Amino acid sequence: MVELHDASTIAAVIVEPMAGSTGVLPPPVGYLKRLRELCDKHGILLIFDEVITAFGRLGHATASERFGVTPDIMTFAKGITSGTVPMGGCVVRKHVYDAFQTGPDHVIDLFHGYTYSGHPLAAAAALATLDLYRDEGLFERSRKLEPYIAQAAMSLKGHALLQDIRTIGFVAAFDLAPVEGLPGKRGFDAMRVAFHEENMMVRVSGDTIAVSPPLIAEEKHLDEIFEKFGRVLDKVS
Ligand SMILES: Cc1ncc(COP(=O)(O)O)c(C=O)c1O
């Protein structure tokens, strides 16, 4: 892309360090490090969208920490309040901060004009959530259970409807064989059956279903989740 467009026309590269929203696609080994090197070489900012990956989903505070690659800007949301109250934000490194702080001292730092910026309710929920993550060791727990969730998800291997199973951290994804001529229908049906018949919320992305248990889930809950998902697969076959 740099060769095609010239680095001077590229301000930043934004990636999800693990592509969660497109179906749980772990990065190829060394991919993020190489991206960091290329961005450094050409003076391009690297942005990690950590809306899904931060706060324990990959067994660490951030995917950046897990993969040992530090972006210039990081976005976050969901896990910061464990979804209890809407909140999102971004963290920047000092050189980005300094670039914005060229005005007088009395202006607001990194000003964003949102109606609900820094809302006290969301801030309280975030602080309480961070306390729980620390006190209950939930990032470590997610890291410890990573092999268990991988094994539990892989127990569905061989089901005729499954084209691929991927897991990383505390998340698993299943690619379902599409209904011919109706892409997305099988995934949508699976989500509907999971929700209405198995009391289970899953995320659908085309014909891919992502299962992202709460970080407090224990082994027995993971067993239950994948048992239920096995029944969902049977029902939408
Ligand atoms: C990876 C990712 N980035 C960004 C967003 C959007 O975040 P927000 O609604 O906080 O802007 C989502 C929403 O699902 C997401 O999954």
Ligand 1 atom showing the smallest separation from residue 20 Cα? 1
Q: How far are the Cα atoms of 15, 63, 179 from residue 31, in angstroms, in the given order?
A: 11, 13, 33
Question: What pLDDT was estimated at residue 111?
Answer: 81
Residues with CB under 6 Å of ligand 1 are 16, 20-21, 49, 51-52, 77, 88
Give the span between the Cα atoms of 152 and 154, in whole angstroms: 5
Work out whether the CA dihedral 150, 153, 157, 163 comes out positive or negative.
negative
Give the span between the Cα atoms of 2 and 34, in whole angstroms: 14
Mutate to test the pocket of ligand 1, among 16, 18, 52, 74 (most ligand atoms within 8 A of CB): 52
51 CA to centre of ligand 1 in angstroms: 6
Which residue is closest in CA terms to ligand 1's atom 13?
A: 51
Residue where the block lists tokens 């990383």: 168
Q: What is the pLDDT along the chain (237 residues), one digit of tens a residue?
A: 999 999 999 999 999 999 998 999 999 999 999 999 999 999 999 999 999 999 999 999 999 999 999 999 999 999 999 999 999 999 999 999 999 888 888 888 888 788 998 899 999 999 999 999 999 999 999 999 999 999 999 999 999 999 999 999 999 999 999 999 999 999 999 999 999 999 999 999 999 999 999 999 999 999 999 999 999 999 999
Residue where the block lists tokens 């026309």: 9
Question: What pLDDT was estimated at residue 12?
Answer: 98
Ligand 1 atom showing the smallest separation from residue 86 Cα? 10
Paired with 165 in beta bridges are 174
- Where do the domains of the chain lie, and which CATH numbers do they carry? 2-137 (3.40.640.10), 145-236 (3.90.1150.10)
Neighbour count for residue 183 (Cβ, 10 Å): 11
